[in-house]
Amino acid sequence: MQPVFNTINMTDLSRFNPNKVSNPNNNIFGLPFTEEDAKLVIIPVPWEVTVSHLAGTARAADHVYRSSLFVDIFDVDGDAGWKKGFYMQEIDKKLLFKNDYLRKEAELYIDYISQGAPIEENKFMCKSLKEINEGSAFMNKWVYENSKTLLDKDKLVAVLGGDHSTSLGLMKALSEKHGDFGVLQIDAHCDLRNKYEDFNYSHASIMYNALTELPAITKLVQVGVRDYCEEEWNYICNSNFRVITYFDKQVKNRLFEGQTWKTIANEIIQNLPQKVYISFDIDGLDRKLCPNTGTPVIGGFESEEMIYLIQKIKESGRELIGFDLVEIGVGQTDWDSNVGASILWRLCNIMVS
């Protein structure tokens, strides 16, 4: 079921009561803004072609939208933010259909290569790989063009995935608008693999591709990483501090030994430049908060620890220029989407307030 996007122009908020039940005929969080009125616009990207484990996140935006109608919009840390307007665009059905077709191709391809079979001798698999890589490039261009259009209208822009590969187009558009900036990546994984499973734009390669294609990203600070390969470790070590990773184990050890999260958060922030993009992979959190995320890993943070960190970035005087929220799972219950909607609400408020 797709969300209903029939809105009425209600820039006069005297007609809107935030204490009442959400009106499903409004937009995300039950807010009465149109895209023209909203300061922050959320682009849902229904894409999960290259996910390597559990699928479902391509349809997460629809679930998050519905769960958002049950989020209380009073936020003492940024209550005025929503009054400037949040709006989520309609889910693009053509992009979703392309995702569904290519996802089936990718599943066959991943199964084929996992058995060690040679690709060159299988024309069907060569064709599938070509179509998948072309499809991912198309998705990147689609996100970039939509993001650029909104940024040219002086909107703040966020991407709601979908898998982590969905954010490259937004980061490209932001690099053209803002010049140099840094990325705070909240994630269980480094995502620094080059062409993972032969896919040029794999979800496991998003930060490798961002750093390779976007020289405007002067710093990548990763928090919560606890699952990575030797290739990624070597990339970090040879990055000349362009990449700084706060591994989950190291952070936890510091906390166990008496350091405060405030001390560690301040240190993380000191590594970030003036302009900051937030890339929030939900699997950076403890799995109890995201049981159906695509590649779950033991460990991780509480949601409030990450919100605290992002709030402190804003309070430091740095400019938050955009964000993505990705890899939200779709399960038999609404728990994943409830958590996703709550985090999305907090991110939007911090960004705009």
Whether residue 1 is contained in a domain is answered as: no
Task: List, for residues 1-28, the tens digit of each pLDDT value.
Answer: 444 444 444 467 888 888 899 988 899 9
Whether residue 8 is contained in a domain is answered as: no
Whether residue 96 is contained in a domain is answered as: yes
Structural domain of 235:
13-352
Whether residue 6 is contained in a domain is answered as: no
Q: Report which of 128, 127, 143, 132 is spatially closest to residue 99, judged by C-alpha positions.
A: 132
Q: Are 112 and 198 in contact (CB under 8 A)?
A: no
Whether residue 76 is contained in a domain is answered as: yes
Mean pLDDT, range 73-92, rounded to an integer: 86
Contacts of 134 (CB under 8 A, 6+ apart): none
Whether residue 31 is contained in a domain is answered as: yes
Whether residue 3 is contained in a domain is answered as: no
pTM confidence score: 0.94
Q: Are 143 and 43 in contact (CB under 8 A)?
A: yes
Contacts of 95 (CB under 8 A, 6+ apart): 45, 46, 47, 139, 142
Whether residue 298 is contained in a domain is answered as: yes
Task: List, for residues 25-73, the tens digit of each pLDDT value.
Answer: 899 999 999 999 999 999 999 999 999 888 999 999 999 999 999 999 8
Q: Output the domain CATH number for residue 308.
A: 3.40.800.10
Number of domains in the chain: 1
Task: List, for residues 95-151, the tens digit of each pLDDT value.
Answer: 999 999 999 999 999 999 999 888 888 999 999 999 999 999 999 999 999 999 999
